[in-house]
Amino acid sequence: MAQPFLLHTYPNGLRLITVPMHDTGTVTVQIMVGTGSRYETPEINGISHFLEHMMFKGTTKRPGAMDISHELDSIGAEYNAFTHKEYTGYYAKSSADHFEQILDVVTDIFLNSKLVPEEVEKERGVIIQEINMYLDSPRHHVGNLFEEAMFTDSSLGWDIAGPKEVIAKLPTDQLPEYFRTHYFAENTIVGVAGKIDPVKVKETVWQYFSEMRRGERHNFLPYQIKQTEKRVKIFNKATDQTHLIVGVPGYGLNDERRHAANVLGIVLGAGMSSRLFTEVREKRGLAYYVSGGASCYSDVGDFTVSAGVENVKLVEALTVIMEQLKRLRNEPVSEAEVRKAKDFMRGHMLLGLETSDAFTSYYTDQLLYREKIVTPEEAIVNWGKVTVAEMQAVANDLLRPERLNLALVGPFQPDDQTIYSSLKL
Domain ranges of the chain: 6-209, 231-421
Q: What is the pLDDT of residues 261-309, one digit of tens each?
A: 999 999 999 999 999 999 999 999 999 999 999 999 999 999 999 999 9
For residue 241, the SS3 value is strand
Q: Decide: 8 and 16 in contact? Cβ < 8 Å.
A: yes
- Return the percentage of the chain with pLDDT > 90, whole number: 96
- Return the percentage of the chain with pLDDT > 70, whole number: 99
Burial of 8 (0-12, 13-18, 19+ CB in 10 A): middle
Per-residue pLDDT at 46:
98
Per-residue pLDDT at 231:
97
Q: Is 52 a catalytic residue?
A: yes
- The strand order across the sheet containing 241-250 reads 231-236, 405-410, 241-250, 301-310, 287-296
Per-residue pLDDT at 370:
87
Per-residue pLDDT at 87:
98
What mean pLDDT is predicted for residues 35-44? Answer: 97
What mean pLDDT is predicted for residues 356-379? Answer: 92
What mean pLDDT is predicted for residues 116-135? Answer: 96
Q: Which of 52, 86, 123, 147 is catalytic?
A: 52
The rounded distance, in Å, linking the Cα atoms of 86 and 75 is 31
Average pLDDT, the chain: 96
Q: Check pLDDT > 80 for residue 2.
A: no
| 231-421 matches 6-209 in CATH topology | yes
Q: What is the pLDDT of residues 82-124, one digit of tens each?
A: 999 999 999 999 999 999 999 999 999 999 999 999 999 999 9
Q: What is the pLDDT of residues 301-341, one digit of tens each?
A: 999 999 999 999 999 999 999 999 999 999 999 999 999 99
Q: Check pLDDT > 60 for residue 1.
A: no
CATH number given to 6-209: 3.30.830.10
What mean pLDDT is predicted for residues 246-259? Answer: 97
Per-residue pLDDT at 73:
98
Q: Which of 387, 421, 423, 390 is nearest to 405 (CA)?
A: 423
Per-residue pLDDT at 220:
86
What mean pLDDT is predicted for residues 194-219? Answer: 96
Q: Check pLDDT > 70 for residue 3.
A: no
The rounded distance, in Å, linking the Cα atoms of 269 and 400 is 19
The rounded distance, in Å, linking the Cα atoms of 271 and 139 is 19
Superfamily of domain 231-421: Metalloenzyme, LuxS/M16 peptidase-like (3.30.830.10)
Q: Check pLDDT > 60 for residue 256.
A: yes
Q: What is the pLDDT of residues 49-86, one digit of tens each?
A: 999 999 999 999 999 999 999 999 999 999 999 999 99
Cα-based distances in Å from 147 to 141, 195, 351, 425: 10, 39, 29, 20
